[in-house]
């Protein structure tokens, strides 16, 4: 399987950043054996799709309805029409700041999949839960709740320990691989043999300096990158590390 590296720009960026980033990106060597996805804020999807070749487009969220009187919401069908291939769903910031539940995440993931998009379903434990040794139960429960009736053919799972997001404290390769192995087992229990082929990517302070060792782990298929994805060179270095060693 090719590596998968997804940029989550969150609520950062501007038309000027897109122009600068795309100019720098064009000057960097083309990458193979890795799918590179850019998820800008929704108003910039059009500008990003025009500015880049060879990068896939993604969104950061979608509505849990198909259409209707839902002011401010964006339907997965609209995102598909704009050329999105991926949608980040259930990011910890959506779960904590907007109270998104596992059931809502599952609805969004089903809608995204029905539109032919790849739902990138995020799970991860908080610091207190890890300190209490509860991470395996927390992540297993979140995962199964978030995948209820979600088909597996386009699914991507992102393990993002909350304590590693935007903090500069990345999980050690051992911690990340242990959790990815657990997620792999849960996916196989849930989907049978097909669970072996679902990409599981890691997110949480991934940088050019730590990407290579993380991608060297058996069950880490790529990364969801926040802060470091705002800099073209850093993001390219991470994507390049993900492509290294891929068949």
Contacting positions for ligand PEP (CB under 6 A)? 8, 160, 165-166, 203-206, 224-228
Q: Residue 126 CB, nearest distance to ligand PEP (Å)? A: 14
For residues 151 and 173, which CB has a smaller minimum distance to ligand PEP in the complex?
173
CA distance 36 to 98: 28
For residues 117 and 191, which CB has a smaller minimum distance to ligand PEP in the complex?
117
For residues 42 and 114, which CB has a smaller minimum distance to ligand PEP in the complex?
42
Which residues lie closer than 8 Å to 130 by C-beta, 6 or more apart? Answer: 161, 163
CA distance 218 to 60: 27
Q: Residue 199 CB, nearest distance to ligand PEP (Å)? A: 15
Beta bridge partners of 87: 59, 119
Contact 132, 169 (CB under 8 A): no
CB-neighbour burial class of residue 224 (10 A; exposed 0-12, middle 13-18, buried 19+) = buried
Is residue 149 annotated as part of the catalytic site, yes or no?
no
For residues 166 and 192, which CB has a smaller minimum distance to ligand PEP in the complex?
166
Q: Which of 91, 93, 125, 180 is catalytic?
A: 91
Q: Write the CA distances from 146 to 108, 216, 227, integer angstroms.
A: 9, 27, 25
Q: Residue 247 CB, nearest distance to ligand PEP (Å)? A: 26
Contact 66, 75 (CB under 8 A): yes
For residues 94 and 154, which CB has a smaller minimum distance to ligand PEP in the complex?
94
Q: Which of 64, 100, 160, 177 is catalytic?
A: 160
Is residue 141 annotated as part of the catalytic site, yes or no?
no
Q: Residue 108 CB, nearest distance to ligand PEP (Å)? A: 16
The residue with its CB nearest to ligand PEP is 226
Q: Residue 125 CB, nearest distance to ligand PEP (Å)? A: 14
Instruction: Please provide residue 169's backbone torsions phi and psi, each rounded to the nearest 5 degrees.
Output: -100, 95
Give catalytic residue positions.
91, 160
């Amino acid at each position: 399987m090719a590596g998968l590296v997804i940029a989550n720009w969150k609520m950062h960026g501007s038309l000027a950043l897109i122009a600068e980033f795309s100019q720098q990106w064009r000057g960097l060597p083309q990458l193979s054996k890795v799918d590179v996805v850019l998820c800008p804020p929704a108003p910039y999807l059009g500008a990003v799709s025009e500015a880049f070749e060879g990068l896939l487009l993604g969104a950061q969220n979608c509505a849990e309805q198909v259409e209707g009187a839902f002011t401010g919401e964006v339907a997965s069908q609209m995102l598909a029409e704009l050329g999105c291939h991926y949608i980040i769903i259930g990011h910890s910031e959506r779960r904590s700041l907007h109270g998104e539940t596992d059931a809502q995440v599952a609805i969004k993931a089903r809608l995204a999949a029905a539109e032919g998009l790849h739902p990138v379903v995020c799970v991860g434990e908080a610091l207190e839960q890890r300190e209490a040794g509860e991470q395996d139960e927390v992540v297993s429960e979140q995962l199964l709740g978030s995948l209820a009736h979600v088909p597996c053919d386009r699914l991507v799972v992102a393990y993002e320990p909350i304590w590693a997001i935007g903090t500069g404290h990345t999980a050690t390769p051992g911690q990340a691989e242990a959790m990815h192995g657990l997620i792999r087992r849960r996916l196989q229990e849930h989907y049978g043999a097909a669970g072996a082929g679902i990409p599981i990517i890691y997110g949480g302070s991934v940088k050019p300096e730590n990407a290579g060792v993380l991608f060297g782990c058996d069950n880490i298929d790529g990364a969801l990158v926040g802060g470091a994805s705002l800099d073209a060179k850093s993001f390219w270095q991470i994507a390049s590390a993900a492509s290294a060693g891929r068949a």
